[in-house]
Amino acid sequence: LALPVISAFIGYITNVVAIRLLFWPKKPINLGLFSLQGVLPKRQEQIASSIGQLVDQELLSIDELFDKINTPEIRETLTDKIGGILKERLSELLPRIVPDRISRKIGEVLEKILRQEAANIIRQSMDAGSKYLNEEVNIQQMVEDKINAFDLDELEKMIRGVTSNELTFIEILGGVLGFIIGLLQVAILLLFPLT
């Protein structure tokens, strides 16, 4: 029974150390022939670049964002909001310039024109906005810069917060697999004695 317990301990400790080496040491430690540094600290920029690329290409693009907000329902809501604002502003401004009856007529005509043209104007504005943002906003670079700006301790805390259950499972699994391998070693030793 000692061999499976020792193997379980070795498997568990190996996985604990391997997980710690994802994050530690933060600064390279020179060991003569090679240096030791945690995977995350060593490759933070590459990881940030990969995540930025993933977000930009697979998760959220400007075009997809505009596809979600450039719908008939949203255009209608915008038309109503713009119409309400325009009506309110005209009812404040026109009576100062023209007689009340004429200002009401002008307001009605402008509201009718707005209703007819608003959807098209909003669609064109959305298309122009999408084109402009595609040219001017680089989601990949934004994500990359944000990740690179994180302090390593903060980044480690975030990753551990998201993956703590999985990391604990991996540590325990190392112990379980070590125990099973130890049992197999005992079985082999019993089936094929050395002497």
Q: Please give the pLDDT value at position 46.
A: 96
**What is d(CA 11, CA 178) in angstroms, rounded to the nearest whole number?**
5
CB 19 within 8 A of CB 34: no
Q: Please give the pLDDT value at position 146.
A: 95
Indicate yes or no: pTM above 0.85: no
pLDDT average, residue stretch 123-129: 86
**What is d(CA 107, CA 85) in angstroms, rounded to the nearest whole number?**
12
Reported confidence tier of residue 68, pLDDT bands at 50, 70, 90 = confident
Q: Which residues contact 45 (CB under 8 A, 6 or more apart)?
A: 148
pLDDT at 119 over 80: no
pLDDT at 195 over 80: no
pLDDT at 6 over 80: yes
